[in-house]
Amino acid sequence: MKTKDKSMDNTPPPQAVEVERTVLGTILIDSTVVDRVMNVFSVNIFADPKHRMIASAIIELYKKNINLDLLTLVNRLKQDDKLTKVGGIGYVSSLSQNIGSSANIDYHLRILQQEALRRNLIAIGTKAVQMSFDDTQDVFDVFAETQMAMDDSMKSVVNYEIKSVGQVHDQIIKESIHILKSGHKSGVESGLRMLDNVTNGWQKSDLIIVAGRPGMGKSSLVVSMGLFPAVEKDVPVVIFSLEMSSEQIVGRMQSYYSEIDVSRIVKKQLNEDDIVNIERRTQSLKNAPIYIDDTPNISLLDLKGKVRKMVKENNVQLVIVDYLQLMRSGMKTQSREQEIAEISRGLKALAKEQSIPIIALSQLSRAVESTSDKKPMLSHLRESGAIEQDADMVMFCYRPEYYSIENYEVGTQSFDTNGLFMLLIAKHRNGELGEIPLKFIHEQTKITNYQLSGYNTPTQEYSTNNAIKPDINSTFVQRNENEETHSSLLRPNTEFSNDDLFDKTNDETPF
Protein backbone atom coordinates (compact mmCIF):
# COMPACT_ATOMS: atom_id res chain seq x y z
CA MET A 1 0.00 0.00 0.00
CA LYS A 2 1.39 3.36 -0.99
CA THR A 3 1.76 6.04 1.64
CA LYS A 4 1.34 9.73 1.09
CA ASP A 5 4.52 11.52 0.11
CA LYS A 6 4.97 14.00 2.96
CA SER A 7 7.50 15.96 0.93
CA MET A 8 4.66 17.21 -1.26
CA ASP A 9 3.35 19.27 1.67
CA ASN A 10 6.39 21.56 1.39
CA THR A 11 6.46 21.77 -2.38
CA PRO A 12 6.30 25.42 -3.46
CA PRO A 13 3.39 26.36 -5.75
CA PRO A 14 4.11 26.61 -9.51
CA GLN A 15 5.84 29.87 -10.31
CA ALA A 16 8.39 31.43 -12.63
CA VAL A 17 10.01 34.20 -10.59
CA GLU A 18 12.74 34.97 -13.12
CA VAL A 19 10.15 35.29 -15.89
CA GLU A 20 8.20 37.66 -13.63
CA ARG A 21 11.33 39.81 -13.24
CA THR A 22 11.89 39.75 -16.99
CA VAL A 23 8.30 40.88 -17.74
CA LEU A 24 8.47 43.77 -15.26
CA GLY A 25 11.95 44.78 -16.48
CA THR A 26 10.83 44.70 -20.13
CA ILE A 27 7.96 47.06 -19.38
CA LEU A 28 10.34 49.41 -17.56
CA ILE A 29 12.76 49.68 -20.49
CA ASP A 30 10.00 49.85 -23.13
CA SER A 31 6.84 51.41 -21.73
CA THR A 32 5.17 51.31 -25.17
CA VAL A 33 4.54 47.57 -24.81
CA VAL A 34 2.09 48.27 -21.98
CA ASP A 35 -0.61 49.25 -24.47
CA ARG A 36 -0.09 46.00 -26.34
CA VAL A 37 -0.09 43.64 -23.37
CA MET A 38 -2.46 45.32 -20.91
CA ASN A 39 -5.27 42.94 -21.89
CA VAL A 40 -3.27 40.06 -20.36
CA PHE A 41 -1.19 41.98 -17.80
CA SER A 42 -2.74 41.34 -14.40
CA VAL A 43 -1.62 41.31 -10.77
CA ASN A 44 -2.96 37.76 -10.50
CA ILE A 45 -0.37 36.27 -12.87
CA PHE A 46 2.47 37.11 -10.46
CA ALA A 47 3.36 34.77 -7.60
CA ASP A 48 6.04 36.81 -5.81
CA PRO A 49 4.37 39.33 -3.42
CA LYS A 50 6.96 41.99 -4.36
CA HIS A 51 6.17 41.58 -8.03
CA ARG A 52 2.44 41.74 -7.36
CA MET A 53 2.86 45.12 -5.69
CA ILE A 54 5.02 46.42 -8.55
CA ALA A 55 2.50 45.16 -11.12
CA SER A 56 -0.30 46.88 -9.23
CA ALA A 57 1.62 50.17 -9.31
CA ILE A 58 2.21 49.82 -13.07
CA ILE A 59 -1.51 49.25 -13.66
CA GLU A 60 -2.41 52.31 -11.56
CA LEU A 61 -0.03 54.49 -13.58
CA TYR A 62 -1.52 53.13 -16.80
CA LYS A 63 -5.07 53.86 -15.67
CA LYS A 64 -4.12 57.45 -14.79
CA ASN A 65 -2.33 57.89 -18.13
CA ILE A 66 1.00 58.64 -16.46
CA ASN A 67 4.11 57.82 -18.48
CA LEU A 68 5.85 54.80 -17.04
CA ASP A 69 9.55 54.86 -16.18
CA LEU A 70 11.73 54.08 -13.17
CA LEU A 71 11.07 57.43 -11.46
CA THR A 72 7.27 57.41 -11.86
CA LEU A 73 7.10 53.78 -10.72
CA VAL A 74 9.25 54.43 -7.64
CA ASN A 75 7.18 57.51 -6.82
CA ARG A 76 3.96 55.51 -7.08
CA LEU A 77 5.32 52.80 -4.77
CA LYS A 78 6.32 55.51 -2.27
CA GLN A 79 2.80 56.96 -2.32
CA ASP A 80 1.35 53.53 -1.60
CA ASP A 81 3.95 52.96 1.16
CA LYS A 82 5.22 49.87 -0.64
CA LEU A 83 8.69 50.87 -1.84
CA THR A 84 10.46 49.35 1.17
CA LYS A 85 8.31 46.22 0.98
CA VAL A 86 9.41 45.53 -2.61
CA GLY A 87 13.10 45.90 -1.74
CA GLY A 88 13.66 49.61 -2.31
CA ILE A 89 14.92 51.53 -5.32
CA GLY A 90 17.78 49.11 -5.74
CA TYR A 91 15.52 46.13 -6.39
CA VAL A 92 13.17 48.03 -8.72
CA SER A 93 16.08 49.34 -10.81
CA SER A 94 17.66 45.87 -10.97
CA LEU A 95 14.60 44.54 -12.81
CA SER A 96 15.62 46.26 -16.05
CA GLN A 97 19.19 44.97 -16.04
CA ASN A 98 20.18 42.41 -18.67
CA ILE A 99 16.95 42.99 -20.63
CA GLY A 100 17.76 42.85 -24.33
CA SER A 101 14.44 43.65 -26.04
CA SER A 102 10.68 43.37 -25.69
CA ALA A 103 10.32 40.88 -28.54
CA ASN A 104 9.47 37.90 -26.31
CA ILE A 105 7.16 39.56 -23.81
CA ASP A 106 4.01 37.88 -25.21
CA TYR A 107 5.61 34.48 -24.75
CA HIS A 108 6.77 35.37 -21.23
CA LEU A 109 3.28 36.57 -20.26
CA ARG A 110 1.84 33.31 -21.56
CA ILE A 111 4.15 31.42 -19.21
CA LEU A 112 3.00 33.52 -16.24
CA GLN A 113 -0.65 32.89 -17.15
CA GLN A 114 -0.04 29.15 -17.24
CA GLU A 115 1.71 29.16 -13.87
CA ALA A 116 -1.08 31.26 -12.36
CA LEU A 117 -3.70 28.82 -13.63
CA ARG A 118 -1.73 25.94 -12.17
CA ARG A 119 -1.74 27.64 -8.77
CA ASN A 120 -5.46 28.29 -9.02
CA LEU A 121 -6.20 24.69 -9.99
CA ILE A 122 -4.15 23.37 -7.08
CA ALA A 123 -6.00 25.62 -4.61
CA ILE A 124 -9.41 24.76 -6.06
CA GLY A 125 -8.62 21.06 -6.24
CA THR A 126 -7.34 20.98 -2.67
CA LYS A 127 -10.52 22.61 -1.40
CA ALA A 128 -12.67 20.28 -3.52
CA VAL A 129 -10.92 17.24 -2.05
CA GLN A 130 -11.42 18.50 1.51
CA MET A 131 -15.11 19.22 0.92
CA SER A 132 -15.61 15.86 -0.82
CA PHE A 133 -14.41 14.03 2.28
CA ASP A 134 -16.91 15.99 4.40
CA ASP A 135 -20.13 13.96 4.60
CA THR A 136 -22.11 17.04 5.66
CA GLN A 137 -21.49 18.67 2.27
CA ASP A 138 -23.92 18.12 -0.60
CA VAL A 139 -21.72 16.68 -3.34
CA PHE A 140 -23.75 18.43 -6.05
CA ASP A 141 -23.13 21.77 -4.34
CA VAL A 142 -19.42 20.91 -4.08
CA PHE A 143 -19.32 20.08 -7.77
CA ALA A 144 -21.12 23.30 -8.76
CA GLU A 145 -18.95 25.43 -6.46
CA THR A 146 -15.78 23.85 -7.87
CA GLN A 147 -16.88 24.55 -11.45
CA MET A 148 -17.72 28.14 -10.56
CA ALA A 149 -14.35 28.61 -8.86
CA MET A 150 -12.57 27.28 -11.96
CA ASP A 151 -14.57 29.65 -14.13
CA ASP A 152 -13.65 32.59 -11.90
CA SER A 153 -9.99 31.55 -11.82
CA MET A 154 -9.79 31.85 -15.61
CA LYS A 155 -11.35 35.31 -15.50
CA SER A 156 -8.88 36.41 -12.81
CA VAL A 157 -5.93 35.52 -15.03
CA VAL A 158 -7.17 36.44 -18.52
CA ASN A 159 -8.59 39.93 -18.97
CA TYR A 160 -10.98 40.93 -21.72
CA GLU A 161 -9.33 43.11 -24.31
CA ILE A 162 -10.12 46.80 -24.29
CA LYS A 163 -10.52 48.13 -27.82
CA SER A 164 -10.53 51.67 -29.13
CA VAL A 165 -13.35 52.99 -31.27
CA GLY A 166 -10.96 53.11 -34.21
CA GLN A 167 -10.11 49.41 -33.89
CA VAL A 168 -13.79 48.43 -33.77
CA HIS A 169 -14.57 50.77 -36.67
CA ASP A 170 -11.88 49.22 -38.87
CA GLN A 171 -13.05 45.71 -37.94
CA ILE A 172 -16.67 46.51 -38.87
CA ILE A 173 -15.67 48.01 -42.21
CA LYS A 174 -13.40 45.06 -43.01
CA GLU A 175 -16.11 42.52 -42.21
CA SER A 176 -18.74 44.53 -44.12
CA ILE A 177 -16.58 44.59 -47.25
CA HIS A 178 -16.01 40.83 -46.99
CA ILE A 179 -19.75 40.15 -46.59
CA LEU A 180 -20.60 42.48 -49.47
CA LYS A 181 -18.18 40.71 -51.80
CA SER A 182 -19.23 37.22 -50.73
CA GLY A 183 -22.96 37.93 -51.01
CA HIS A 184 -23.59 36.08 -47.76
CA LYS A 185 -25.49 37.29 -44.70
CA SER A 186 -23.52 38.51 -41.71
CA GLY A 187 -24.95 35.95 -39.29
CA VAL A 188 -25.92 32.28 -39.14
CA GLU A 189 -28.90 31.82 -41.49
CA SER A 190 -32.03 29.97 -40.36
CA GLY A 191 -33.28 29.10 -43.86
CA LEU A 192 -36.57 30.88 -43.12
CA ARG A 193 -36.19 33.63 -45.68
CA MET A 194 -38.44 36.30 -44.23
CA LEU A 195 -36.80 35.87 -40.84
CA ASP A 196 -33.30 35.97 -42.32
CA ASN A 197 -34.16 39.17 -44.16
CA VAL A 198 -35.12 40.75 -40.83
CA THR A 199 -32.16 39.45 -38.80
CA ASN A 200 -29.56 39.10 -41.59
CA GLY A 201 -28.84 35.81 -39.86
CA TRP A 202 -28.31 35.19 -36.15
CA GLN A 203 -25.67 37.65 -35.04
CA LYS A 204 -22.62 36.87 -32.92
CA SER A 205 -23.02 37.40 -29.14
CA ASP A 206 -26.84 37.55 -29.38
CA LEU A 207 -29.18 35.73 -27.01
CA ILE A 208 -32.40 34.87 -28.87
CA ILE A 209 -35.41 33.74 -26.85
CA VAL A 210 -38.08 31.68 -28.63
CA ALA A 211 -41.14 31.43 -26.38
CA GLY A 212 -44.61 29.95 -26.60
CA ARG A 213 -47.25 27.89 -24.87
CA PRO A 214 -47.09 24.08 -25.06
CA GLY A 215 -48.13 22.77 -28.47
CA MET A 216 -47.19 25.92 -30.36
CA GLY A 217 -44.24 24.32 -32.17
CA LYS A 218 -41.22 25.84 -30.40
CA SER A 219 -39.08 22.73 -30.70
CA SER A 220 -40.11 22.24 -34.33
CA LEU A 221 -39.04 25.79 -35.08
CA VAL A 222 -35.57 25.52 -33.55
CA VAL A 223 -34.97 22.12 -35.14
CA SER A 224 -35.52 23.73 -38.55
CA MET A 225 -33.29 26.65 -37.48
CA GLY A 226 -30.53 24.19 -36.64
CA LEU A 227 -30.93 21.98 -39.71
CA PHE A 228 -30.50 24.61 -42.38
CA PRO A 229 -27.13 26.09 -41.33
CA ALA A 230 -25.68 22.67 -40.56
CA VAL A 231 -26.95 20.77 -43.61
CA GLU A 232 -26.95 23.52 -46.22
CA LYS A 233 -24.09 25.74 -45.02
CA ASP A 234 -21.90 23.26 -43.11
CA VAL A 235 -22.10 25.44 -39.98
CA PRO A 236 -21.53 23.38 -36.79
CA VAL A 237 -24.55 23.50 -34.45
CA VAL A 238 -25.04 22.03 -30.98
CA ILE A 239 -28.50 21.34 -29.52
CA PHE A 240 -28.98 20.93 -25.77
CA SER A 241 -32.28 19.05 -25.50
CA LEU A 242 -33.48 18.90 -21.90
CA GLU A 243 -36.99 17.79 -22.86
CA MET A 244 -36.55 15.28 -25.69
CA SER A 245 -34.03 12.49 -26.14
CA SER A 246 -31.46 12.55 -28.90
CA GLU A 247 -33.44 9.80 -30.70
CA GLN A 248 -36.58 11.93 -30.68
CA ILE A 249 -34.66 14.95 -32.01
CA VAL A 250 -33.06 12.95 -34.81
CA GLY A 251 -36.44 11.33 -35.54
CA ARG A 252 -37.86 14.79 -36.17
CA MET A 253 -34.95 15.59 -38.46
CA GLN A 254 -35.49 12.36 -40.40
CA SER A 255 -39.19 13.20 -40.73
CA TYR A 256 -38.25 16.68 -41.92
CA TYR A 257 -36.45 15.34 -44.97
CA SER A 258 -38.28 12.08 -45.66
CA GLU A 259 -41.79 13.57 -45.09
CA ILE A 260 -42.76 10.43 -43.16
CA ASP A 261 -44.98 10.91 -40.11
CA VAL A 262 -42.68 11.66 -37.17
CA SER A 263 -44.71 9.51 -34.78
CA ARG A 264 -44.09 6.44 -36.95
CA ILE A 265 -40.35 7.15 -36.98
CA VAL A 266 -40.13 7.68 -33.22
CA LYS A 267 -42.23 4.56 -32.53
CA LYS A 268 -40.27 2.65 -35.21
CA GLN A 269 -43.45 1.66 -37.05
CA LEU A 270 -41.74 1.71 -40.43
CA ASN A 271 -42.08 -0.58 -43.42
CA GLU A 272 -39.29 -1.41 -45.84
CA ASP A 273 -40.16 1.42 -48.23
CA ASP A 274 -40.10 3.92 -45.36
CA ILE A 275 -36.66 2.79 -44.25
CA VAL A 276 -35.28 3.00 -47.78
CA ASN A 277 -36.87 6.44 -48.20
CA ILE A 278 -35.37 7.75 -44.95
CA GLU A 279 -31.95 6.34 -45.76
CA ARG A 280 -32.02 7.80 -49.26
CA ARG A 281 -33.23 11.29 -48.37
CA THR A 282 -31.19 11.88 -45.23
CA GLN A 283 -27.65 11.29 -46.51
CA SER A 284 -26.79 14.97 -46.09
CA LEU A 285 -28.23 14.88 -42.58
CA LYS A 286 -25.98 11.98 -41.55
CA ASN A 287 -22.86 13.97 -42.43
CA ALA A 288 -24.08 17.32 -41.07
CA PRO A 289 -22.10 18.90 -38.19
CA ILE A 290 -25.00 18.70 -35.71
CA TYR A 291 -24.25 17.71 -32.12
CA ILE A 292 -26.95 16.78 -29.58
CA ASP A 293 -26.63 16.73 -25.81
CA ASP A 294 -29.75 15.36 -24.13
CA THR A 295 -28.49 15.58 -20.52
CA PRO A 296 -31.62 16.16 -18.39
CA ASN A 297 -31.71 18.99 -15.86
CA ILE A 298 -28.31 20.26 -17.00
CA SER A 299 -26.80 23.08 -14.96
CA LEU A 300 -25.65 26.38 -16.39
CA LEU A 301 -22.09 25.61 -15.31
CA ASP A 302 -22.13 22.23 -17.09
CA LEU A 303 -23.56 23.80 -20.23
CA LYS A 304 -20.91 26.54 -20.22
CA GLY A 305 -18.13 23.99 -20.01
CA LYS A 306 -19.56 21.89 -22.82
CA VAL A 307 -20.13 24.89 -25.09
CA ARG A 308 -16.58 26.13 -24.58
CA LYS A 309 -15.26 22.70 -25.46
CA MET A 310 -17.50 22.42 -28.54
CA VAL A 311 -16.48 25.87 -29.78
CA LYS A 312 -12.80 25.05 -29.35
CA GLU A 313 -12.82 21.50 -30.70
CA ASN A 314 -15.67 21.57 -33.26
CA ASN A 315 -15.90 25.27 -34.17
CA VAL A 316 -19.57 25.34 -33.15
CA GLN A 317 -21.19 28.58 -34.33
CA LEU A 318 -24.76 28.20 -33.07
CA VAL A 319 -26.09 26.89 -29.74
CA ILE A 320 -29.72 25.87 -29.17
CA VAL A 321 -31.14 25.23 -25.68
CA ASP A 322 -34.52 23.44 -25.38
CA TYR A 323 -35.63 24.70 -22.95
CA LEU A 324 -34.55 27.29 -20.40
CA GLN A 325 -36.94 26.44 -17.54
CA LEU A 326 -35.64 22.85 -17.40
CA MET A 327 -32.12 24.05 -16.59
CA ARG A 328 -30.50 24.48 -13.19
CA SER A 329 -28.26 27.42 -12.38
CA GLY A 330 -26.00 25.24 -10.21
CA MET A 331 -25.91 28.04 -7.65
CA LYS A 332 -27.77 28.58 -4.42
CA THR A 333 -30.66 30.99 -4.96
CA GLN A 334 -33.57 32.13 -2.85
CA SER A 335 -36.27 31.47 -5.42
CA ARG A 336 -36.93 29.90 -8.80
CA GLU A 337 -37.28 33.38 -10.29
CA GLN A 338 -33.76 34.26 -9.15
CA GLU A 339 -32.47 30.99 -10.54
CA ILE A 340 -34.02 31.65 -13.97
CA ALA A 341 -32.52 35.15 -13.86
CA GLU A 342 -29.08 33.63 -13.20
CA ILE A 343 -29.52 31.22 -16.11
CA SER A 344 -30.64 33.99 -18.44
CA ARG A 345 -27.70 36.22 -17.51
CA GLY A 346 -25.34 33.28 -17.80
CA LEU A 347 -26.50 32.40 -21.32
CA LYS A 348 -26.10 36.01 -22.45
CA ALA A 349 -22.62 36.19 -20.91
CA LEU A 350 -21.69 32.90 -22.62
CA ALA A 351 -22.92 34.15 -26.01
CA LYS A 352 -20.79 37.27 -25.62
CA GLU A 353 -17.75 35.42 -24.28
CA GLN A 354 -17.72 32.87 -27.12
CA SER A 355 -18.97 35.35 -29.75
CA ILE A 356 -21.72 33.01 -30.94
CA PRO A 357 -25.53 33.30 -31.10
CA ILE A 358 -27.48 31.26 -28.54
CA ILE A 359 -31.14 30.39 -29.13
CA ALA A 360 -32.96 29.43 -25.93
CA LEU A 361 -36.55 28.22 -25.77
CA SER A 362 -38.79 29.45 -22.96
CA GLN A 363 -42.24 28.60 -21.69
CA LEU A 364 -44.96 31.21 -21.31
CA SER A 365 -47.29 31.58 -18.36
CA ARG A 366 -50.96 30.52 -18.49
CA ALA A 367 -51.92 34.19 -18.54
CA VAL A 368 -51.78 33.96 -22.34
CA GLU A 369 -54.89 31.80 -22.32
CA SER A 370 -56.91 34.50 -20.56
CA THR A 371 -56.42 37.07 -23.35
CA SER A 372 -59.08 37.45 -26.04
CA ASP A 373 -56.83 36.64 -29.04
CA LYS A 374 -54.46 34.32 -27.14
CA LYS A 375 -51.50 36.29 -28.45
CA PRO A 376 -48.44 36.27 -26.16
CA MET A 377 -46.81 39.42 -24.85
CA LEU A 378 -43.47 40.09 -23.15
CA SER A 379 -45.14 40.13 -19.75
CA HIS A 380 -46.13 36.48 -20.30
CA LEU A 381 -42.52 35.27 -20.17
CA ARG A 382 -42.57 32.74 -17.38
CA GLU A 383 -40.87 33.16 -13.98
CA SER A 384 -38.53 36.04 -14.70
CA GLY A 385 -38.50 39.50 -16.24
CA ALA A 386 -34.73 39.06 -16.54
CA ILE A 387 -35.28 36.99 -19.69
CA GLU A 388 -36.76 40.00 -21.45
CA GLN A 389 -33.95 42.20 -20.19
CA ASP A 390 -31.07 39.91 -21.15
CA ALA A 391 -32.36 38.83 -24.56
CA ASP A 392 -31.31 40.64 -27.71
CA MET A 393 -34.35 39.22 -29.45
CA VAL A 394 -37.62 37.72 -28.18
CA MET A 395 -39.90 35.82 -30.56
CA PHE A 396 -43.24 34.18 -29.81
CA CYS A 397 -44.67 31.11 -31.53
CA TYR A 398 -48.37 31.50 -32.30
CA ARG A 399 -50.72 29.19 -34.20
CA PRO A 400 -54.18 30.72 -34.69
CA GLU A 401 -55.45 27.32 -35.89
CA TYR A 402 -54.73 25.87 -32.43
CA TYR A 403 -57.32 28.26 -30.98
CA SER A 404 -59.89 27.55 -33.74
CA ILE A 405 -59.35 30.95 -35.36
CA GLU A 406 -60.35 30.53 -39.01
CA ASN A 407 -59.12 33.78 -40.47
CA TYR A 408 -56.08 35.76 -39.38
CA GLU A 409 -55.36 39.30 -40.49
CA VAL A 410 -52.09 41.19 -40.40
CA GLY A 411 -52.50 44.70 -41.68
CA THR A 412 -53.90 44.35 -45.20
CA GLN A 413 -52.99 40.66 -45.44
CA SER A 414 -55.55 37.98 -44.68
CA PHE A 415 -54.43 34.40 -44.01
CA ASP A 416 -56.19 31.07 -43.95
CA THR A 417 -55.10 29.62 -40.61
CA ASN A 418 -54.84 26.03 -41.85
CA GLY A 419 -51.19 25.21 -41.17
CA LEU A 420 -50.36 28.86 -40.41
CA PHE A 421 -47.50 29.46 -37.99
CA MET A 422 -46.95 33.08 -36.96
CA LEU A 423 -43.61 34.15 -35.55
CA LEU A 424 -44.13 37.31 -33.50
CA ILE A 425 -41.02 39.41 -32.96
CA ALA A 426 -41.71 41.26 -29.70
CA LYS A 427 -38.19 42.50 -28.98
CA HIS A 428 -35.34 43.11 -31.37
CA ARG A 429 -32.48 45.14 -29.97
CA ASN A 430 -30.99 45.85 -33.38
CA GLY A 431 -33.90 45.59 -35.79
CA GLU A 432 -37.60 45.63 -36.59
CA LEU A 433 -40.52 44.21 -34.67
CA GLY A 434 -43.41 42.47 -36.33
CA GLU A 435 -45.08 39.24 -37.44
CA ILE A 436 -43.70 36.70 -39.88
CA PRO A 437 -45.94 34.01 -41.45
CA LEU A 438 -44.54 30.49 -41.74
CA LYS A 439 -46.02 27.11 -42.61
CA PHE A 440 -46.50 24.32 -40.06
CA ILE A 441 -46.83 20.69 -41.20
CA HIS A 442 -48.11 18.91 -38.13
CA GLU A 443 -47.49 15.27 -39.14
CA GLN A 444 -43.81 15.98 -39.71
CA THR A 445 -43.52 18.66 -37.00
CA LYS A 446 -41.96 20.70 -39.78
CA ILE A 447 -41.87 24.46 -40.18
CA THR A 448 -41.07 25.84 -43.61
CA ASN A 449 -41.17 29.07 -45.55
CA TYR A 450 -44.66 30.44 -46.07
CA GLN A 451 -45.99 30.15 -49.61
CA LEU A 452 -48.23 32.76 -51.14
CA SER A 453 -50.22 30.38 -53.31
CA GLY A 454 -53.68 29.60 -51.95
CA TYR A 455 -53.89 32.52 -49.55
CA ASN A 456 -56.08 35.60 -49.83
CA THR A 457 -53.84 38.62 -50.37
CA PRO A 458 -55.97 41.76 -50.74
CA THR A 459 -54.46 44.54 -52.77
CA GLN A 460 -56.58 47.43 -51.61
CA GLU A 461 -54.68 50.30 -50.13
CA TYR A 462 -54.63 50.47 -46.34
CA SER A 463 -54.43 53.72 -44.45
CA THR A 464 -54.37 54.50 -40.75
CA ASN A 465 -56.08 57.26 -38.86
CA ASN A 466 -52.94 59.36 -39.03
CA ALA A 467 -52.99 59.10 -42.84
CA ILE A 468 -49.78 57.07 -43.13
CA LYS A 469 -49.98 54.94 -46.27
CA PRO A 470 -47.28 52.29 -46.14
CA ASP A 471 -46.17 49.89 -48.83
CA ILE A 472 -49.14 47.54 -49.36
CA ASN A 473 -46.90 44.78 -50.71
CA SER A 474 -45.22 44.21 -47.36
CA THR A 475 -46.47 41.57 -44.97
CA PHE A 476 -43.95 42.46 -42.30
CA VAL A 477 -45.88 44.42 -39.71
CA GLN A 478 -44.22 46.71 -37.21
CA ARG A 479 -45.40 46.73 -33.64
CA ASN A 480 -45.23 49.63 -31.26
CA GLU A 481 -42.30 49.10 -28.87
CA ASN A 482 -44.06 51.08 -26.14
CA GLU A 483 -47.18 48.91 -26.23
CA GLU A 484 -47.75 45.21 -25.83
CA THR A 485 -50.74 45.18 -28.18
CA HIS A 486 -50.26 44.37 -31.85
CA SER A 487 -50.60 47.25 -34.24
CA SER A 488 -52.11 47.00 -37.70
CA LEU A 489 -49.78 49.74 -38.89
CA LEU A 490 -47.45 48.52 -41.61
CA ARG A 491 -43.93 49.76 -41.49
CA PRO A 492 -43.51 52.64 -43.99
CA ASN A 493 -40.82 52.42 -46.67
CA THR A 494 -40.05 48.81 -45.86
CA GLU A 495 -37.47 47.14 -48.07
CA PHE A 496 -39.26 43.81 -47.96
CA SER A 497 -41.92 42.77 -50.46
CA ASN A 498 -43.83 39.65 -51.39
CA ASP A 499 -41.62 39.19 -54.44
CA ASP A 500 -38.45 38.55 -52.45
CA LEU A 501 -39.95 37.21 -49.22
CA PHE A 502 -42.48 34.63 -50.37
CA ASP A 503 -41.85 31.36 -52.13
CA LYS A 504 -44.36 31.39 -55.01
CA THR A 505 -43.48 27.93 -56.26
CA ASN A 506 -45.23 24.68 -55.41
CA ASP A 507 -42.04 23.22 -53.97
CA GLU A 508 -42.59 22.37 -50.32
CA THR A 509 -39.04 21.36 -49.50
CA PRO A 510 -37.89 22.63 -46.10
CA PHE A 511 -35.85 25.57 -47.34
DSSP result, 60-107: HHHHTTPPPSHHHHHHHHHHTT-TTTTTHHHHHHHTTTT---STTHHH
pLDDT at 360: 92
pLDDT at 380: 77
- The whole-number average pLDDT for the span 451-466 is 36
pLDDT at 238: 93
Residue 508 has pLDDT above 60, yes or no: no
pLDDT at 466: 26
Side chain identity, residue 501: L
Predicted TM-score (pTM) of the model is: 0.63
CB atoms within 10 A of CB 414: 13
pLDDT at 316: 92
Please, which pLDDT band fits residue 162 given cuts at 50, 70 and 90? Answer: low
Please, which pLDDT band fits residue 1 given cuts at 50, 70 and 90? Answer: very low
Residue 174 has pLDDT above 90, yes or no: no
Please, which pLDDT band fits residue 420 given cuts at 50, 70 and 90? Answer: confident
- Could you give the percent of the chain with pLDDT greater than 90? 8
Least confident of 57-61, 73-77, 345-349, 374-378: 374-378
Which is more confidently placed, 337 or 49?
49
- The whole-number average pLDDT for the span 376-392 is 77
Residue 51 has pLDDT above 90, yes or no: yes
Instruction: Judge contact between 237 and 229, C-beta under 8 A.
Output: yes
Please, which pLDDT band fits residue 10 given cuts at 50, 70 and 90? Answer: low
Predicted confidence (pLDDT) per residue in 56-113, tens digit: 898 888 877 788 888 899 999 998 899 999 889 999 889 888 787 777 888 888 889 8
Residue 183 has pLDDT above 70, yes or no: yes
* Rounded Cα gap, residues 487 and 265, in angstroms: 41
Kindly give the residue spans of alpha helices, DSSP state H, lying in 315-441: 336-354, 386-390
* Rounded Cα gap, residues 13 and 432, in angstroms: 55
* Rounded Cα gap, residues 428 and 434, in angstroms: 9
Q: Note the CATH number of domain 187-501.
A: 3.40.50.300
Options 3.40.50.10860, 3.90.25.10, 1.10.860.10, 3.20.20.70; CATH of 10-157:
1.10.860.10
Instruction: Judge contact between 496 and 413, C-beta under 8 A.
Output: no
Residue 322 has pLDDT above 70, yes or no: yes
Side chain identity, residue 226: G
Strand (E) or helix (H) holding 240: strand 237-241
Report the Cα 344 to chain-centroid distance in Å: 10
In terms of Cα–Cα distance, which of 447, 375, 40, 38 is closest to 211?
375
Stretch(es) of the chain classified as CATH 1.10.860.10: 10-157
Rg (CA), the chain: 29
Predicted confidence (pLDDT) per residue in 278-288, tens digit: 888 888 888 89
Stretch(es) of the chain classified as CATH 3.40.50.300: 187-501
Instruction: Judge contact between 46 and 27, C-beta under 8 A.
Output: no
Report the Cα 306 to chain-centroid distance in Å: 13
pLDDT at 460: 29
- The whole-number average pLDDT for the span 334-350 is 83
